[in-house]
Structure 1
Amino acid sequence: MQRYFIPKKAWYDDRIRITGDDVHHITRVMRFTVGEKIICNDENGVAAQCEILEIDKDFVVVAILHWLEENNELPIEVTIVHGIPKADKFEIVLQKGTELGAHKYIPFQSERSIVIWDKKKWAKKLQRFNKIVKEASEQSHRSYVPTISNPMSITELIEESSQYDLKIFAYEEEAKVNNYHTFGSILKQINSNQKLLVCIGPEGGFSEEEANILKVNDFHPIRLGPRILRTETAPLYALSAISYHFEEQ
């Protein structure tokens, strides 16, 4: 059943008034008609099965039939910090990472980031990025839509990291040593309902200076397998491993 994330302000007792891009999707893409059923979520994770009552070119009105008791989120909150990559790689991470359960994304302006997002570029990109995570959340039947923070410097990242129970960063030099930290051993240190910060570098990885700063501030360097992964592959590997560890064993 198709799912839509509708802001709480559009919920009125047993009715929901849907506007914006979702109207186009309901009427033109899915070609739903009066009497058909959809699922509506609000931003707090509340979900309900609904029936379409009225369709207009500017809005759709649905009736709440019954509330759904469900939670499709990972048992831990995972934030992906990603060194800003080139081209559309970050969009791939947003889409696939959302399907895999990421709770939040933080773009990181790394020393080796080739791309720089100024405020003007960021405002335009954020609008598109938010649309990507919303649609991916609907497709994968998430209970929440992940949030995307403004790009951070390493100083801002260190300050932000104080909110997390465990902090790790994928460091390619860690994959080359014999006495390395496996991702599995790190995951055993965190429990359900805790918060994990996973940092991935851009193309070229973290600089030595950045790695040292992270280590000093209690970030654990880890390897994600013996092979060197692309910047857009690494967060998806991490999220898949987290899902397996907490949900499928």
Structure 2
Amino acid sequence: MQLFYEPNILDTHTLNPIDSKHCVRVLRHTVGDQISVMDGIGNWFNCEIIEDNPKKCKVSILSKKEDNPRKSALHIAVAPTKNIDRLEWFLEKATEMGIEQITPILCEHSERKIIKPERLEKVIISAMKQSLKAYKPILNQLTPFKAFIAKNSNADNSFIAHCNGGTKDILKSVYPKGENTTIMIGPEGDFSVSEVELALKSNFRAISLGEARLRTETAALMTCATFNITNM
């Protein structure tokens, strides 16, 4: 199935220029053909092409179907990796597996302090289409660690995964089944001691992902997999 993404689709709608070209020039669709369009907030639309202009392909909605969101939502706050390809890989796989929200965070040990959200959004949208997801994950702006903690202070089911010492629970043993969850994953150099202390004072619980030392993007994806398995 070839999907198109239009977040503000109308009864009679013109596809964006990139999708218009792809639909008409690459897929060779013409007037009368039907295509599937999603809006990223749970709605699927069966549409008929009424104008096959490769710059402004126009469609008309024939029918609409709604998907229900997951009963529980996962929000991962992750420090962008030095190699941006690794972060893009995580976003792609997390979108395919199902995730509701991602916040890139800027930490004391962060090696990457600038990201291009437009590029990351393209990765997410592509993965959403490929995996036939009705919901597009929310990608928040790059947020300083302390600002993220302040915004999420005292929230329920908030965790921080780190490799420093101290008492930590194994992730799979404390995942709250059926409830919204927030998990923080640090940079290659891990969270600093002071960052961990601040998180713990703000009602975050320390967790371990096991004995293996994982890359940032691997740790983040592991939390997605554990969340999905726990909430099946």
Cα deviation 1:117-167 (Å, max 9, x = unaligned): 2xxxx4xx1111111111111111222211221211122111221484311
Q: In the alignment, is residue 55 of structure 1 matched against residue 52 of structure 2?
A: yes
Q: In the alignment, is residue 236 of structure 1 matched against residue 221 of structure 2?
A: yes
| Mapped partners of 1:105, 1:56: distance in 2 | 36
Cα deviation 1:184-215 (Å, max 9, x = unaligned): 2211x353xx4311111110211111111111
| Mapped partners of 1:41, 1:70: distance in 2 | 11
Task: Please say if residues 53 and 63 of structure 1, whose CA atoms lie closer than 8 Å, have aligned partners that are also in contact.
Answer: yes
Superposition map of 1:1-249 within 5 A: 1-8=1-8, 10-12=9-11, 15-71=12-68, 73-88=69-84, 89-117=86-114, 122=115, 125-162=116-153, 164-173=155-164, 180-187=168-175, 189-191=176-178, 194-247=179-232
State TM-score, norm by structure 2.
Answer: 0.89
Aligned length: 231
Give the direction of change, closer, same or farther, for the CA distance of 1:32–1:245 in structure 2 (3 Å limit): farther
| Mapped partners of 1:163, 1:31: distance in 2 | 53
Task: Please say if residues 40 and 50 of structure 1, whose CA atoms lie closer than 8 Å, have aligned partners that are also in contact.
Answer: yes
Give the direction of change, closer, same or farther, for the CA distance of 1:110–1:219 in structure 2 (3 Å limit): same
The letter for the 1-side match of 2:103 is: I
State the Cα RMSD in Å: 2.1
Partner SS for 2:217: coil
Partner SS for 1:11: coil
Cα deviation 1:198-245 (Å, max 9, x = unaligned): 111110211111111111111111111321111111111110111111
Give the direction of change, closer, same or farther, for the CA distance of 1:147–1:27 in structure 2 (3 Å limit): same
Partner SS for 1:233: helix
State TM-score, norm by structure 1.
Answer: 0.84
Give the direction of change, closer, same or farther, for the CA distance of 1:225–1:32 in structure 2 (3 Å limit): farther
- Identical counterparts, % of pairs: 29
| Mapped partners of 1:105, 1:165: distance in 2 | 17
The letter for the 2-side match of 1:95 is: E
Structure 1 stretches lacking a partner, 5+ long: none
